[in-house]
Chain A
Amino acid sequence: MKKAIALALAVLTMSVIAASAQGSQTVAARATAGYSCSKTITVPFITPVTGGAGFLGAEQSSWAKYAIKTLAPTLHLKVKLVVGDTPVEQGPTPATTLAQKYVGDSSVLGLLGPSTSGNVAATAKTFFAAHLAHISPSATRTDFTQGTTKEEYPTFFRDVPGDYIQGPSDANFMINNLHVKKVVIMDFQEPYSLGLASAVDAVLTKAGVSTTRLSAPNTTTDYSAYVTKVPSDADIVFFPTQKPGDAQTFAQQLIEQGKKAKVFGGDGSNDATQFKQPGSYVSNFAPDITGIAADSSIIAGWKKDNPGKSVGSFGPPSYGAAQILMNAIHLACVKGNGTATRQTVLQNIKKVSIKNWILGGTFKWSTKTNDPLNAKFYIFQIQSNGSYKLVG
């Protein structure tokens, strides 16, 4: 009996090892397996379309869909967009499941997203192992392209600047324009807010500004206790949430408790329909593209496909990310004489440069990192009519 059990265990162990090796071989083989460019290419987009940050994914996917619809035919590609939902409240689990699914799909030569920094952290190694390029239009965590952990994410790209720009931009605006003396900095115990909060804290502290750190779970809805901890003489509460409704709640509860501090949100709170407290500030990686003349036809076409929707700031970078990916696939197809592999697409990502970039000017990659060259953050102040006015 014991011998039988031992034999069964040995067979099971060998099977698992063999299956793992086979899986690795399959992943590696898929990276170099040629895919005919005449067939439909699947472009997945990992983004939250439900949950508190669902507005983000809804906007981003609509722009990515429009980009694919209009640009793929001009690049002689047949492309299908597939949206993988990753509600922020569920943590990284949905993203890791989707990553495995897309890695196993041979029609996927590259993908968009993940949109959130937490999901990039959870999936980057999977995509790296599969040599699968992924371009995020909104994951801004610094570590993904800078610093000592940079080497962990060589297949990760983003067409928006990271928090290593956002953090200092926001902090310097507070110091130079708002002349702050005391700032409360919140984080929500997840990678995006932790990184940004730390970046802002470092700059403010160095400049002699008094900072207080508060930390709330990502599932918090009532911030009363946190508002109570805000000193009555604090100038700003830096609130890098991914849920704009929470920024609005916090701002209202500050007034409810008679606190004078204003809320300063990061790019994750950029939604004029939800965060509209006059006097508050929001930073974002994209300007208002309705002011860019070259984008007027794109905007008109997108609006026709999305009646009743207004142009936000998360959508255009998604259009850009899709544009970059499709151009990289196109280059790989041309060089491969009608066949592309994940590896060749990856190699061609940084060869893409786009004139009349949707966010203005020309898009080029940084030579040192997988970030855009010379990107910047924009700071808006919310006006009494709820509109966002560019102030920095």
Chain B
Amino acid sequence: MDTFIQYTIDALTLGSVYALIALGYTLVYGVLKLLNFAHGDVFMVGSFAGYGTFELLGGGNPKVPLWLLLTLVTLSAMAACAALGVVIERFAYRPLRDAPRIAPLISALGVSFFLANSMQLLFGATPRVYPTFEIHDAVLYTSGFNIGNVHMPLLRVITILAAFVLMIMLWFLVNKTRTGKAMRATSFDREAASMMGVDIDKVIVFTFVLGSALAGAAGVFFALRVPTTVSIGFVAGLKGFTAAVIGGIGSIPGAMAGGLILGFAESYTQGYISTQWSDLFVFSLLVAFMIFRPQGLLGRADIRKV
């Protein structure tokens, strides 16, 4: 029972990160019908931005209270990635908005390589480790609460709760605000939305800001626990994309569900089947969904006029 609880905690932690990455994919796809393959590298940039802020604020001996430290680290990563998202949209995707769909896809791949290699040139190969363990005698690891014999560390609680708060805020923004309404209208029918007075360019930019900010947050939540390098974006992006597909690309609740499902699938496979098979199983899920339920769990099947 203890191992089941531990695997579930791992699943929630991992799934929260995947969900945030998947949301970025789904938001952009929903509005632009574009798979933003640079999204994983935006996540990577977020982890580095957070690291920089962490070090600026004192690293293992923070100059500010812990809650403020983590808040500022997350917000700075989100802001940095949001700005990056604006730049990427403006220079890599907007000129190709009316081009065949393969063109922005290829551009996205190019942006992905550009980001990864630029970061490598700027920051080198050494992994960056958030000094979370050094703060106040590893309080983030040793405090928390117990579920049976299993310790739920404070760091995991913060990661999971923060991710869920962001998801709820996103849901609220998309469903209960005017801007969200504009986003949904653009997603449904861009032309019609434009005719109704929606500024499409602003909506698209805002979507990129939102998606990239979530990726930045995911980067921080991920790197709070494991080292970050310039190469983490690729696999994380693939898994975020898989989560978005499983949940239904274009569906926000689907992306959240997909991320959590992926986290559980990966964690339980590692725990109960084999640690060597988890990636195989995860990507097999992607293939299976593409074949048997391409619209995903909560996505809408495409209706084509004949």
A contacts, CB < 8 Å to B? 48-55, 58, 87, 89, 189, 214-217, 219, 221-226, 228-229, 243, 245-246, 248-249, 252-253, 255-258, 274
Contacts and interface: CB of A to CB of B under 8 A. Distances in A.
B118 interface: no
A258 to B, nearest CB: 5
Contacts of A222: 10, 14, 225-226
B208 to A, nearest CB: 26
Interface stretch (B183-191, B269-277, B284-292): B269-277
A89 B153 CA distance: 30
Interface in B150-175: 150-151, 153, 155-156
B127 A224 contact: no
Nearest to B231: A89
Given A52-B127, A217-B279, A252 B271 contact: no
B103 interface: no
- Those 5 A-B pairs whose CB atoms lie nearest each other, nearest first: A54-B125, A225-B270, A245-B227, A245-B127, A50-B125
Interface of B: 3, 6-7, 10, 13-14, 120, 124-127, 129, 133, 138, 141-142, 150-151, 153, 155-156, 225-227, 229-232, 235, 267, 270-271, 275-276, 278-279
Nearest to B129: A245
B267 A225 contact: yes
28 contacts: A49-B125, A50-B120, A50-B124, A50-B230, A53-B125, A54-B124, A55-B125, A58-B124, A58-B125, A215-B275, A217-B276, A217-B279, A221-B232, A222-B10, A222-B14, A223-B226, A224-B6, A224-B10, A224-B13, A225-B271, A226-B275, A228-B3, A228-B271, A229-B275, A255-B138, A255-B142, A257-B150, A257-B151
A249 B227 contact: yes
A54 B3 contact: no
Given A222-B225, A256-B141, A229 B271 contact: yes
Contacts of A228: 3, 6-7, 10, 271
Contacts of B227: 52, 221, 243, 245-246, 248-249, 274
Nearest to A223: B226
A55 to B, nearest CB: 5
Nearest to B142: A255
Nearest to A226: B275
Nearest to B228: A221
